[in-house]
Amino acid sequence: MTIPDTVEAREAVDLLDRTRALVQPELRGACDTLPGPMRRVAMYHFGWEEADGTPAAGAGGKAVRPALVLAACQALGGDPDRAVRAAAAVELAHNFTLLHDDVIDEDVTRRHRPTAWTVFGTADAVLAGDAMLALAVRLLAEDPWPRSAEASARLSDCVIELCAGQQIDCAFEERPPEEVTPEECIGMATAKTGALLGASCAIGALYAGAGEREVRAMDAFGREAGLAFQFIDDLIGIWGDPERTGKPAGADLAARKKSLPVVAALASGTRAGAELAELYRGPMGAAAVARAADAVERAGGRDWAQSQAAERMSKAVGELARAVPDLGAAGGLLSLAEFVTRRNR
Amino acid sequence: MTIPDTVEAREAVDLLDRTRALVQPELRGACDTLPGPMRRVAMYHFGWEEADGTPAAGAGGKAVRPALVLAACQALGGDPDRAVRAAAAVELAHNFTLLHDDVIDEDVTRRHRPTAWTVFGTADAVLAGDAMLALAVRLLAEDPWPRSAEASARLSDCVIELCAGQQIDCAFEERPPEEVTPEECIGMATAKTGALLGASCAIGALYAGAGEREVRAMDAFGREAGLAFQFIDDLIGIWGDPERTGKPAGADLAARKKSLPVVAALASGTRAGAELAELYRGPMGAAAVARAADAVERAGGRDWAQSQAAERMSKAVGELARAVPDLGAAGGLLSLAEFVTRRNR
């Protein structure tokens, strides 16, 4: 984790630390009930154990989504302690998608370690993912809180949306980059990233006993903040400072990623967009990466992504104000939104 | 479906037909809500559409598990109409495991058609399976029946057990057959087959408003009947009449399957067991298959499996009598148990 450099960032880091302290025992306790090999995959994936079963010091992810559940609950006057199980369920659902997406995308690194499927094989990783989703469902089904069934329905709708997002992402890989539209790309980011941040906030609202209007506004807040995050993440993927991101400059370009600024540039109908398309068809060495970054910028992809990120954040705050008219009570949520959209820069 | 030749079989076939008529609209309606490509995979997998989206006449599986839900509910004095959604949820969970197991096992045929992953690719098949499990959860979460959360907790526990069973099955494949014990093999069959038949009956009991004792006995009934089914299925896989099974004689031996009679024979410490182990190390042509079947029989594998099947069925009926003291009310369940353990012979 980078050193927080603003008041909001310090607040967010504190909130994430407190969330992990509250939610991790529930999360780890749930994973501990899994039978043999699926338990090992889960413990490894969360960073609590090494591949051979010895203890590891991993923190099990930043816990952004559980923190959103608890902060949303608190912002609407609920008792976050009651929502700890729901927060753990959301984190399990998130990690279920990570396990499956890593298998599908054949990604080999996650949280600075080899992905679970590279260590335990595809079958065990898929099955451990399945079991994690089932654990999430069980946590909510066994939660006596009267709105837990609503939370379960929302979470399952969200899982379907996450799967749809991953499916769209895979389908993009098979199309020439210049055929993917920015709208499609935003739709994909909404499903893959916005949906679960929205569901986290909405579930927090349900655990505060909120009405339908507040729940919907909380969902919209999380979705818009999630989209802002994605735009900024994609900007970082091209122009992020390697010293802060830990990745080489232009990493997303080197990987020919169809990120939001790239897709916008390719669809711009400009000469720079055509140059970028041409570059993406060839080998992406350091010089090509530098030229591609320049082309994205000249084609307007950088400005567009920056203004979209700002617009989404402003929409997010508007939605939050609908749910929590006294924004002073929503400090936790605002600092989290601020934090995720500035992380690691 | 083969022509029913006993009163029980006719009753079971009627029950399955009525179940499909009740449950299929719910099931199909749920799958119809899935986004784009996942909907297509689901419609194909259930046999309602061809790969290109044109309508198909498939019946979507025999619906044994939904029939158990409805019959268990009825046997305990409940109204099966109220349990239709739960029955659809169980069938979705079952088909989620089929989609994932086919990917993991690289099986190419299911219900006489190419498996979904061979048609739509691994990613879409895995994601459609994920989405089906989420649909099952949503059906239960949106069901106003007061015990639906308990049903959801049971179903999620069962999903974890199904995943564990599949995991054990994969692990067996990597071990020499003579190292797998009959007890391990029974444990695997309990997890892979017994668990969901048990959960189906238990969920039916929950929807009848039954007490914990009845629910547990119904679960045990389904599990024991499921094990009886597995023993008989494995016997058919070696000695089934090809005209009735539609598979060549000794199909499981030709595939070197570590089925229950085979594992028992290998673990018997007899000369015939050693012969079988030797045969399994070589090519399994027609002559080797015939010799292997003979070796399993001489090693006691056939007798053991037959007596186990009978013992499990008798245990199942004992458990059923615990849940439904007047067995006359449990005719549907008995005919289903009878049916699944005699099918296609």
Assess contact for B111 and B47: CB atoms under 8 A: yes
Q: What percentage of chain A carries pLDDT values higher than 70?
A: 97
Mean pLDDT on A210-239: 96
| Residue A287 scores a pLDDT above 70 | yes
Partners of A114 in beta bridges: A109
Q: CB contact, 8 Å: A172 with chain B?
A: no
B87–chain A nearest CA distance, Å: 17
Higher pLDDT, A9 or B322: B322
Alpha-helical regions (H) of B195-298: 195-207, 212-239, 242-245, 251-254, 260-266, 271-281, 286-298
Q: What is the pLDDT of residues A90-111, one digit of tens each?
A: 999 999 999 999 999 999 999 8
- What CATH number does the domain located at B1-210 have? 1.10.600.10
Q: What are phi and psi of A211, to 5 degrees?
A: -80, 170
Contact (Cβ atoms closer than 8 angstroms) between residue A86 and residue A140: yes
CB B15 within 8 A of CB B336: yes
Rounded CA separation B316/B295 (Å): 30
Give me the sign of the Cα torsion angle A255, A337, A216, A134: positive
Q: What is the pLDDT of residues B210-265, one digit of tens each?
A: 999 999 999 999 999 999 999 999 999 999 888 777 777 888 999 898 999 999 99
Report yes or no: A148 at the B interface, CB cutoff 8 Å.
yes
In angstroms, how far is the first alpha carbon of chain A from the final one?
Answer: 11
pLDDT value for A1: 42
Burial class, B334, CB count within 10 angstroms (exposed 0-12 / middle 13-18 / buried 19+)? buried
Give B171's contacts in chain A (Cβ within 8 Å): 37
Decide: helix, strand or coil at residue A194: helix
**Cα pseudo-dihedral B175, B177, B182, B184, rounded to 10:** 10
pLDDT greater than 60 at residue A345: no
In contact, A124 and A90? CB cutoff 8 Å: no
- Best residue of B107, B117, B137 to probe chain A, by most A CBs closer than 10 Å: B137
Given a contact cutoff of 8 angstroms between Cβ atoms, the answer to whether B191 and B125 are in contact is no
**Which pLDDT does position B4 carry in this prediction?**
58
Q: Which residues of B156-177 are buried (b: 16+ CB within 10 A; e: fewer)?
A: bbbbbbbbbbbbbbbbbeeeeb
Q: What is the pLDDT of residue B156?
A: 98
Q: How many CB atoms lie within 10 A of CB A96?
A: 25
- Residue B5's pLDDT band, with cuts at 50, 70 and 90, is low
Mean pLDDT of B129-155: 97
Residue A3 has pLDDT above 60, yes or no: no
Interface pTM (ipTM) of the complex?
0.92
CB contacts, 8 Å: B131 with chain A: 159-160, 163-164
Chain A residue with Cα closest to B168: A37
Question: In chain B, what residues touch A149 (CB-CB under 8 Å)?
Answer: 141-142, 148-149
Sign of the CA dihedral running A132, A138, A140, A144: negative
Chain A residues closer than 8 Å to B163 by CB: 38, 127-128, 130-131, 134
B344 pLDDT higher than 50: no
CB contact under 8 A, A100 and B130: yes
- Cβ atoms A91, A83 nearer than 8 A: no
Question: pLDDT at position B345, please?
Answer: 41
Q: How many CA atoms lie within 13 A of A220 on its CB side?
A: 17
For chain A, what is the mean pLDDT?
93
CB contact under 8 A, B150 and A141: yes
Whether residue B163 and residue A131 make contact (CB cut-off 8 A), yes or no, is yes
Counted across chains A and B, CB pairs separated by less than 8 A come out at: 146
Tokens of A75: 């912002």
**Predicted confidence (pLDDT) per residue in B43-67, tens digit:** 999 999 999 999 998 767 889 999 9
Single out the residue of A54, A22, A43 nearest to residue A131, CA to CA.
Answer: A43
Contact B162, B190 (CB under 8 A): no
Within 10 A of A136 (CB to CB), how many other CB atoms are there? 28
B127 touches chain A (CB under 8 A): yes
Write the CATH number of the domain with boundaries A7-340. Answer: 1.10.600.10
Q: Is A190 on the interface with B (CB under 8 A)?
A: no
Residue B177 is given by DSSP the state G
Q: Identify the pLDDT of residue B3.
A: 53
A337 within 8 A of A266, measured Cβ to Cβ: no
Q: What is the DSSP string of B137-166?
A: HHHHHT---TTHHHHHHHHHHHHHHHHHHH
According to DSSP, the β-strands at B109-110 and A113-114 are unpaired
**Model confidence at B1: pLDDT above 70:** no
> What is the Cα–Cα distance from A233 to A344, expressed in whole angstroms?
9
Q: Quick one: pLDDT band at residue A338, thresholds 50, 70, 90?
A: confident
Residue whose token pair is 């109204």: B79
Residue B121 banded pLDDT, cuts 50, 70, 90: very high
Q: Give every CB contact of residue A143 below 8 A, 6+ residues apart in sequence.
A: A85, A86, A151
At B241 the pLDDT is 84
The CA distance from B47 to B100, in Å, is 17
Contact status of B31 with chain A (Cβ, < 8 Å):
no
Model confidence at B343, pLDDT cuts 50, 70, 90, reads low
Rounded to whole angstroms, the Cα distance separating A39 from A132 reads: 10
Instruction: Provide the 8-state DSSP code for B33.
Output: T
Tell me the nearest-neighbour CA distance from A31 into chain B, angstroms: 11
Are B131 and A159 an interchain contact pair (Cβ–Cβ within 8 Å)?
A: yes
Mutate to test the interface with A, among B152, B190, B203 (most CBs of A within 10 A): B152
How far apart CA A196 and CA A222 sit, in angstroms, is 8
pLDDT of res. B325: 85
- CATH 1.10.600.10 residue ranges of chain B are 1-210
Residue B342 φ then ψ, to 5°: -120, 0
Cβ-contact B145, B82 below 8 angstroms: yes
DSSP lists the bridge partners of residue A49 as: A55
Three-class secondary structure of residue A316 per DSSP: helix
Separation of alpha carbons B130 and A140, rounded Å: 18
The pLDDT score that the predictor gives to residue A207 is 98
Q: Which residue has the higher pLDDT, B171 or B247?
A: B171
Rounded Cα distance between B64 and B70, Å, is 10
Torsion angle (degrees, nearest 10) of CA A36, A38, A41, A44: -60
User: Could you tell me the two tokens for B195?
Assistant: 């668990």
H helical segments located in B52-121: 64-75, 84-105, 116-120
What is residue B59's predicted lDDT score, i.e. its pLDDT? 67
Name the strand (E) or helix (H) holding B17.
helix B7-32
Render pLDDT for B258-291 as a digit per residue (tens, 0 to 9).
999 999 999 999 999 999 999 999 999 999 999 9
| Lookup: tokens for B287 | 């002559």
